[in-house]
Every structure is written in structure tokens, then in C-alpha cells.
Amino acid sequence: MTTLLKRASDEVRVFRLVKHIKDHYPPGAEKPLPGAFRLTNDDIADGVQRNIPPLLSVWDSAKTTVVQARMIRGSVAEYSPFCWSVATIRAIRIASAESLEVYHDPLTEITAAGACGHAGVAGLGKAKASKKEKEAHRELQVRLAEACAPWNEEP
Amino acid sequence: MALAIPATPIRIVEGLPSSPGTSIVPEVQWQANAAAYLGNFCDAVNDAAIKGDAAITGGPRFPPAVRVSFWRAPAPALNPAWVHFLERLPSLGVGTAHAESVRSFWTKLTRAIPSLPFPAAAPTADGEIQLSWDKEQHHLDLDVRSDGTIDWFYMDRLSSLRDSGDDTSVEDEIPNSLHSYLKAFFSTP
């Protein structure tokens, strides 16, 4: 149920692991493309199954380190972290689309360190979206890509 | 009609259609004459890289001046980094046929729009290959799916115009709307 999801506070900083950033064209690209912030078919199916908005997977940087997130994702080296504050994500507004929202979504089914910091961005897609809704979701992906920054953890 | 086509855009050649006739000819017919002249020329030289346009210019007069413009779009530059990106796609989990779809669609794009700059490109989480262009207020991205279909999206940041399409195959002609939006990213010297 949506009511079981807890909204993240504005000051939380979340990061997303983007695969293969080193293999993007042009070489040395500093930011991911909008497609890095698109919900997968699995994300949509997960939302339907749990009766929640489909969520784009991100991590609360205060609860999960990049290394932990990479380990949970099953890869140490292939993922690069990009971040936003939750306030920045909520400030992304476009015409004819609902605002983005960030929820805590801890991975309760696993016990790995950092699993409690999993979170999700809602508003980037849904099952059976209309053409206009899909275009709004695509624009939100563009805006997320523009607003993100490389995440460098404190040692 | 021996016109020298320059190797780089854009050279303007101004001229008048022949045989003005004795009656007033609608301007649109002059323009059609010029377009035919242009088409005949391009057919004669049989060079797909030659582009042209014809338009009535100047104020009201007879015969009207018709400006015929020719240019030869530069051949896409050999870009080792782009070639390397395409060659590496299979090592990123992209199937050989899918990688070939990306390569052939890029070739089709550059034949249609020779001055189109190289896109930013990367695989998406769902395994599509995304090509993306940004210039001023314009953004366009398109995904080449593993089944050879194209899913594209255009937005104008100033006007909030959005458009998209997802029913095109890499084998099809480039849709007029997509072609039109891609013009926003032309490189002009």
C-alpha cells in the first residue's frame, strides 16, 4: 500500500548507481543519459505487485555506502553513483505531470549491510501510461539527468 | 548548367528560370520551375550528399528572382571513439544484431542529415541503446531496441513542446516528424 511508504525528508541525499558510465559515448562523459533514470519493466511490475507507485531505485547516502550498494547490486566496479538532495528532486516540476516524490523503501528481504538505505523515486512511470503521460515521464528523466551530480563519498 | 558544387556548405547560387513567357506566371510556378531545375541537377550529378533548396527572393517584379541553393553536406567524419563505442556494445551485453541495428540506423541518419553531430550514447537499464542530443532549448533522445524498433522523444525546453513516436523500425524511412526535430541539431559551419 502507498500508505506504507514513508516519505524521505528534504535534506536526505540519495544516489543512484548508473551502470557502464565509463562506456558511454563520448568518452569521459560526466553525466548519465536520461535513459539511466527510466523505470525498467521489472520496476513497473514490482509496483503493480506491491500496489505502490513504481519506484526508481536510489539509496539514502546516510544509511548506505556506495560499496554496500554495489555489493547488493552484485557488482563492485561497473556502477557509478550520481546524487541529488531529495529537495532537488521534489523541485523538478513540469506541466501536466505530478511532482516527483522520494520514499524510503528498505530491502527487508535481505540482510546485507546497507539494505536499510534503499529508497525510490516515484512519478517516473506507471503501467498503461498514455502517450502524453509517457512524454511527461521522458521529460522528467531528462530533468533528473540534468540535476544529478557525481557522488563522491567522504573517505 | 555547369555548377561547381563546393566541398563544404554553403554556397548560394542565384539565378533565374529560363523562358519567362508572355503572361504573368504565378510565383509558385517559378518556384516549381526552380525546384525542377534543382532536381534535374541533383539527378544529373547522382550524388546523394548534394542538398538543395529553391525560393522566391526579392520584392515584386517580373520575372521574379529565384534563388537556388546548392550545397554538399560534408561526409561524416571518421570518429574513432564512436567506432570504438559501437564495437564495444557486444561486450556490454548488447546482442550482435542489436549492435548492428544501432550502426545501420546511425548510417541512415547521417545519410539523411549528413551534418548531424554525433550523439551522446549509452545502454539503458532495459538493454536499449539510447542516442541523445542537446542543443540550446532542444532535447531529443531515441532508443534503438533489441527488436530493431525505435522509440524517440523530443522536447523544447522553452515552449514545453513534446513529441514522441515508437512505431518505427530501423528498416523504415525516418519519420518526417523525427527528421524535422533532428534539424534542430544541425552543425552549421
Residue B55: its pLDDT value, please?
66
Least confidently predicted of A18-32, B4-18, B56-70, B114-128? B4-18
| Rounded-to-integer distance, Cα A36 and Cα B121, Å | 11
Q: Do A36 and B143 touch (CB under 8 A)?
A: no
Please compute the mean of the pLDDT values over residues B154-170 and round it to a whole number: 92
Residue B136: its pLDDT value, please?
92
State which residue of chain B sits closest to A79, comparing Cα positions.
Answer: B125
| Rounded-to-integer distance, Cα B62 and Cα B144, Å | 51
Q: Do B153 and A94 touch (CB under 8 A)?
A: no
For the cut 90, the answer to whether the pLDDT of residue B145 exceeds it is yes
Q: Which of B106, B126, B129 to mutate to test the interface with A (most CBs of A within 10 A)?
A: B126
Our CA-based measurement puts residue B21 at a distance from the nearest CA of chain A, in whole angstroms, of 53
ipTM field: 0.90
Our CA-based measurement puts residue B102 at a distance from the nearest CA of chain A, in whole angstroms, of 13
Q: State which amino acid sits at residue B179.
A: H
Q: Write the burial class of residue B96 (CB in 10 Å: 0-12 exposed, 13-18 middle, 19+ buried).
A: exposed
Domain map (residue ranges) of chain A = 2-149
B69: enclosing H helix or E strand: strand B65-72
Residue A89: its pLDDT value, please?
98
Determine contact: B117 vs chain A, CB below 8 A.
Answer: no
The dihedral of CA A75, A81, A87, A89: what is its sign? negative
Locus of grid cell 545501420: B104
For the cut 90, the answer to whether the pLDDT of residue A68 exceeds it is yes
Please, which residues have CB within 8 angstroms of residue B2's CB and are 6 or more apart in sequence? none
Q: What 3-state DSSP class applies to A22?
A: helix
Percent of chain A past pLDDT 90, that is, above it, reads 74
Percent of chain A past pLDDT 70, that is, above it, reads 95
Please compute the mean of the pLDDT values over residues A110-125 and round it to a whole number: 95
